[in-house]
Chains A and B, each alone.
Chain A
Amino acid sequence: MSASLERGINALKEQMDAPVAAFFNSCVNCGLCSEACLFFTETREPKYTPIYKVELLRRVWKQEYTFFGRLAKVLGLSKTITDDDMTKWETLVYDSCTMCGRCSMVCPVGNDIAYMIRKTREGMAVAGHAPEGLVAATTRAVTIGSPMGVKLLALQAQIRHVEDEIGLTVPMDVEGAEYLCMLSSMEIMNFPEYIGAITRIFKHAGVSWTLSSEAFEATNSGIQIGSADIAAELVQRTVDAAEKLNVKAVISPECGHAYMAIRWEGPNLVGKKFGFKVLHILEVLDELREQGKLRTTGMEKQRLTYHDPCQIGRRGGVLEQPRNLLNMVAENFVEMPDAGKMNWCCGAGGGVSSNERADELRLKAFQRKKDQLDAVHADGVVSACSNCRIHLEEGLEEYHMDIPLLSLTETLAEHLVDD
C-alpha cells in the first residue's frame, strides 16, 4: 500500500462520527436516493446513486466498527481499499456530486449523504485523488488568494470601472464599518455589476460597509476539495480581516458554497466561535426590506422564476428571503416545480465547475434543470449564486434556450427609488 493511500484511509477513519455510524447502520440499500440525484436521473447510470458514492467510507466503517467487519479484517477476508478503488470513486465523489444534499432530504432512514460525501473527500484529497482542476484552483486560492487567480490589482481595476459607471465610491478597508462584504472571483471578473449593485443599495439604505484589500475572496476551495486544513486557512483570512476592521458582520456574496464555508463550516474549521455575525447578502437585503430601508419602484413585467442555490437554500436555510425580495420587484414571479428546499441543483456546485473532466457530465445533468424551467415557461431566471448563474447560462446555451439570467441583488438595485 502506498503511503498516500494509507494516509487517505486513515483520514477516512478520522472522519467517523456518531452520525456517520448511525447512517451506515441504517442504510438498507433501497436505492431511493438515486432518483433524488440529477446525475442519476439524467443518465440512469446506477453508479451515480448517492449512497454508492460513499462506498469507500462505508467500507472503512464496516471494517472498523462492525463485529463481522472486524472479524473479516482479522482473518484477512475483507476488501481493503486500493488505489484502483480510489481512482474509480474519485470521479463519483467529485465529478458526479455537487454536495447539493437533495438525496439527504429523501432517504427514508434519514441518511445525510451529502454530509458523508464531504467527509469522503477529506480522505480522497489526502490520498492524492482529487481532480486536477480542483487541485489547481485550490493551489491558486492558497497562493494567490483566489481560485481563479484574481489579484487585488484586478479587483481595484474592476472597482474603478464600477465607480465610473455609478458615480459612487466603493469603500475599501474602512475600519469600524458595520459590514464587511466578501466577493467571489466569479463576481469580480464576470459580474462586477454586483459590486455596483451593493454599493448603490447600501448607499440608498444608509448602511456602512466596506471591502477588505486583505480578504475579499469568499469562496473556499478547501471545502470543495475536502481539505479541512486549507479550508481553515482560507476562513482565517476572512476572520483576520473582519477582526482588523472591527466589523459587526461579514456578508457572504451571491455564491452558494462561500456561504456554507463561512457561515456554517467557518467557525468549526478555525475551531472558535466568531466574534461577528455572518449573513448572506439576501438576509441583509431582506432585513433592510423589513426595516423599510429598501424602497423600490416599478415591477418587472416578464415571468421570472427563482433558482435556489443549494448551499443557500436547502443546506443554508435562506429560503424565504429571496421570495420576499422578488415579490417586491417581480409582478409575475412563478415557482418551478420542486422549488425551495427540494430544488434541483444546477449541476456545477461543490467544485464540479472547477473540474474540467466533469464538463460533459454536468451539461448532461443540466437536462434536469431544463425540464424544471420548461415547466414554467419563464422569461428570466433569477438566482443568488454566480457559480449557478454562469453554469445556468452555459446550460441554457447548450440546450438552445433563450432565457436571460439575473442576479437578485442586481435586479433589486435596478428598481431602487431614486433618492
Chain B
Amino acid sequence: MTETEFLLWVRGPALTYATIIFVLGITVRIVGILMLGRKQNLAEARGSEMAGGLRTIFTRSVPDKSTVKRSMFTLVSGYVFHLGLFVTIFLFAPHILIFREVFGFSWPSLPTPIVDAVAAVSILALLVVLIHRMRDPVQRLLSGFEDYLVWLVTLLPLITGYLAFHRIGLNPVMLTALHIFSVELLMITFPFTKLMHTFSLFLARWYNGAISGYRGVQS
C-alpha cells in the first residue's frame, strides 16, 4: 500500500467503518444504560427530580470549594486538557470545514496560531496527567489497562495532528493519513471504554442531581 492508497483508505472505508462503530456503539451503550431503568420512588418528594438533575448537569462542571483547595493539581490539569481538546477539535478551521461537509453548517474558528499553541499545551497537559496517574498513590491504585489505553488514544490524534500541521518527520500525505487514522482509532475505542464518559456523564450527573433534588438538596 502506498502512502496515497493509505490516505484514500483512511478517508474512505476506514472512516465509514469507524463512524458506524462510533455512532452505533454510543447509541447501544446509552440505550443500554437507560434500559436498566430504576425503581419508582414512592417516598413523598420534597423537590423536583428534573430541576435537580438539570441543575447538577451544569453545576458539576464547577468544582466545590474544598475540592479546589485539596485537589488543585488534578483539577487544573484536567480542565486544561479537556478545554484544549475542545478547542483543537471544534475550533480549528480545517476541522470546521469537515464538520460543515458532514453536518451542513459551520461556526467561527479560532486563529490557527492560537489553536496550534492550545494543541501544544494540551499535549503537555496530557503528559503531566499521565505522570500524575502513575505517581499519585490514589490514581495509581485505581488505574488499570483501560485508563492508559484511553490516555493513549486521546493523545495520538493531538500528536499526529500537531506533526501533520507542522510537517514534521514524514511527508504531508503520510502525516495526514496517520492523523485521520489515529482519530479513527479513538472513534472505535470510544464506545467500549470510559471515553464514553463524554456522553454518559450527562446521565450520571442527572441521576445524581435528581436523587438529591427529590429530597430538596442541590447537589
Residues of chain A whose beta carbon lies under 8 Å from any beta carbon of chain B? 16-23, 25-32, 34-36, 40-41, 44, 46-47, 49, 51-52, 65-68, 104-112, 115, 263-268, 271-274, 277-278, 313-317, 319, 338, 341-342
- Determine if B42 and A27 form an interchain contact, defined as CB atoms under 8 angstroms apart: no
Interface stretch, picked from B9-17, B33-41, B117-125, is: B33-41
A170 to B36, CA, bound (A): 49
- Do A107 and B208 touch across chains, with their CB atoms under 8 A apart? yes
Tell me, yes or no, whether B78 is within 8 Å of chain A by CB: yes
B42–A268 touching, CB < 8 Å: yes
Report, nearest first, the 9 A-B pairs whose CB atoms are least far apart: A110-B205, A317-B216, A267-B42, A22-B203, A31-B138, A19-B207, A29-B142, A25-B200, A35-B70
Are A274 and B67 CB-contacts (below 8 A) given A28-B197, A30-B74?
no
| Total count of chain B residues near the partner, CB < 8 A | 59
Q: Chain A residues with Cβ under 8 A from B137's Cβ? A: 44, 46
In the complex formed, the residue of B with least CB distance to A71 is B192
CB distance from A298 to the nearest CB of B (A): 32
Q: For residue B61, which residues in chain A have a CB less than 8 angstroms away from its CB?
A: 108
Task: State which of B39, B74, B196 has its C-beta within 8 Å of the C-beta of A26.
Answer: B196
Q: Are B207 and A22 in contact (CB under 8 A)?
A: yes
Interchain CB contact under 8 A, B217 and A106: no
Chain A hits for B35, CB < 8 A: 18
List residues of chain B with CB within 8 A of the CB of A22: 33, 200, 203-204, 207
CB atoms of A32 and B74 under 8 A apart: yes
Contact A106/B64 with A22-B203, A26-B201, A264-B43 known, Cβ cut-off 8 Å:
yes
- B95 at the A interface (CB under 8 A): no
B136 in contact (CB, < 8 A): yes
CA gap between A31 and B141 in the complex, in Å: 9
Please name all residues of chain A whose beta carbon is closer than 8 Å to the beta carbon of B29 when the two chains form the complex: 25
Q: Is B139 an interface residue (CB 8 A)?
A: yes
Checking A19, A47, A317 against B217 with a beta-carbon cut-off of 8 angstroms, the contacting residue is: A317
Instruction: Tell me the dominant secondary structure on chain B's binding face.
Output: helix
The answer to whether A49 and B142 touch (CB under 8 A), given A22-B200, A32-B67, A110-B209, is: yes
Give Cα A264 to B215, complex, Å.
8
Distance A214 CA – B201 CA, assembled complex (angstroms): 46
Flag whether B47 is at the interface (Cβ < 8 A): yes
- Given the contacts A110-B56, A315-B215, A338 and B66 also touching, CB distance less than 8 Å: yes
Task: Assess whether A19 is in contact with B194, with CB atoms less than 8 Å apart.
Answer: no
Q: Shortest beta-carbon distance, A78 to chain B, in Å?
A: 13
In the complex, the answer to whether A25 meets B138 with C-beta atoms within 8 Å is no
Q: With a CB–CB cut-off of 8 A, which chain B residues contact A268?
A: 39, 41-43
B176-204 interface bits toward A, Cβ cutoff 8 Å, 1 = contact, 0 = none: 00000000000000001010110011011
Is B64 a contact of A26 with CB atoms below 8 Å? no
B32 in contact with A106 (CB, 8 Å): no
In the complex, chain B residues whose CB is within 8 Å of the CB of A342: 64-66
Q: How far is the CA of A418 from the CA of B197 in the complex (A)?
A: 60
Least CB separation from B77: chain A residue: A30
Q: Which of A26, A44, A314, A315 contacts B200 (CB 8 A)?
A: A26
**In the assembled complex, B143 has its CB within 8 A of some CB on chain A:** yes
Whether A18 pairs with B42 at a CB distance below 8 angstroms is no
Instruction: Closest B residue to A21 by CB, please name it.
Output: B33
Q: Are B74 and A110 in contact (CB under 8 A)?
A: no
CA distance A52 to B137 in the complex (A): 12
Are A105 and B64 closer than 8 Å at their CB atoms? yes
Q: Are A52 and B66 in contact (CB under 8 A)?
A: no
Alpha-carbon gap, A17 to B63, bound state (A): 27
Q: How far is the CB of A102 from chain B (nearest CB, A)?
A: 9
Contacts A21-B32, A26-B201, A317-B215 given; does A36 touch B142 at CB 8 Å: no
What residues of chain A lie closer than 8 Å to B139, measured between beta carbons? 29-31
Render B159-186 as a binary contact track against A, CB cut-off 8 A, 1 for contact.
0000000000000000000000000000
Interface CB pairs A-B, < 8 A, 6: A22-B200, A51-B142, A66-B192, A104-B208, A109-B204, A110-B205
